[in-house]
Amino acid sequence: MKSFLIAPCGMNCSICMAYLRDKNKCPGCRLFNKNEPVTIAKCKIKNCATFKKSKSKFCFECEEFPCDKLKHLDKRYRTKYNMSMIENLENIKKLGLREFMKNEKIRWACSQCGGTICVHRGYCYNCRKKV
């Protein structure tokens, strides 16, 4: 896993549907350029002016952390996908990015084939095993 795959909001891009799919693949929030027709162009956090101005690498470094935009996104993911961006950010802050990524790799690995479980779909993109 590459460190640029952890988005400013704490999202792990490597478990995202848009990153895992074969067609119209997103390279991840940090590499995304707006000529590519993916949903992330609409992301309020990626396009957040306060965050850009703060020159932070992650939202927790921003003066407005945790802002309403992030809290809203976090709530949606906690409810729908059983994942929390804010929790991710707190772990990055506490453990460091390397350790966080190590844990993420274990957390989202398919027990059957070692492939990656998609947070949005809830199954392994390699063998389609459900979690």
> Interface residues with Zn ion (CB under 5 A)?
110, 112-113, 115, 124, 126-127, 129
Q: Give the nearest distance from C-beta 5 to Zn ion in angstroms.
A: 19
Residue number with CB closer to Zn ion (103 or 112): 112
Long-range contacts of 35-39 (CB under 8 A, 24+ apart): none
Could you tell me the sign of the dihedral formed by the alpha carbons of 31, 34, 37, 43, in that order? Answer: positive
Residue number with CB closer to Zn ion (95 or 131): 131
Q: Give the nearest distance from C-beta 118 to Zn ion in angstroms.
A: 10
Residue number with CB closer to Zn ion (11 or 124): 124
Q: Give the nearest distance from C-beta 130 to Zn ion in angstroms.
A: 10
The amino acid at residue 87 is E
Which are the contacts of 33, defined by CB distance < 8 A and separation ≥ 6? none
Kindly report the number of other CB atoms within 10 A of residue 26's CB atom.
20
Q: Give the nearest distance from C-beta 106 to Zn ion in angstroms.
A: 14
Residue located via tokens 């949005």: 120
Residue number with CB closer to Zn ion (1 or 67): 1
Alpha helix segments (H runs only) across the chain: 17-20, 49-54, 68-81, 85-95, 97-107
